[in-house]
Amino acid sequence: MVSKRTITRPANVTAYSIGDVLSGDGIVIPIAIDADLGNSVIVNSSIISSNPASTPSLTLNFYSESFTVAADNAAFVPTAANQKNFLGKIKHTNWAATTNEKTSTNDISKPICVVPTLSAAHIFCVVTLESVYTPTSAEQITIVLNIVQ
């Protein structure tokens, strides 16, 4: 199964610092998964950026429950309660340019394994920066999950 979700950044070019949240609206991003309760799934990912000129290094942090995160461009500081629902993370540091965008895929030898719980229809993602990054205004970041049960 392939599931995707697009984030539209705010209309500014404020630079991000390492550890900042990339979010359009300050919520954890729900991403639909089609899995049975209690059965594990393997999650691999790719990211598409509408900015062909610059390359962010991003980490997708996955959680089993939703929570409110800091605003876009603020430091990500999860609470102990948030971390109890932490499922794993996938880093994206290598990008390939196309005419109008860039695409990143993670190392396919490093997927994460998730066992869906009560929120079986979704996993929740927080996107954080691994490097300093100056975005384009209203840049779109699309998260694509490849899910195998």
pLDDT at 110: 66
83 phi and psi angles, rounded to 5 deg: -65, -20
% of the chain residues with pLDDT over 90: 24
Distances (CA, A) of 66 to 40, 126, 142: 19, 10, 19
pLDDT at 16: 94
| C-alpha 20 chain-centroid distance | 12
- Residues 3-55: tens digit of each pLDDT: 888 889 889 999 999 999 998 776 778 787 766 656 777 888 888 888 877 77
**Residue 82 has what DSSP assignment?**
H
User: Which of 17-21, 30-34, 118-122, 143-147 shows the lowest per-residue confidence on average (mean pLDDT)?
Assistant: 118-122
Distance CA 118, CA 140 (A): 30
Buried b (16+ CB within 10 A) or exposed e, 31-41: bebebeeeeeb
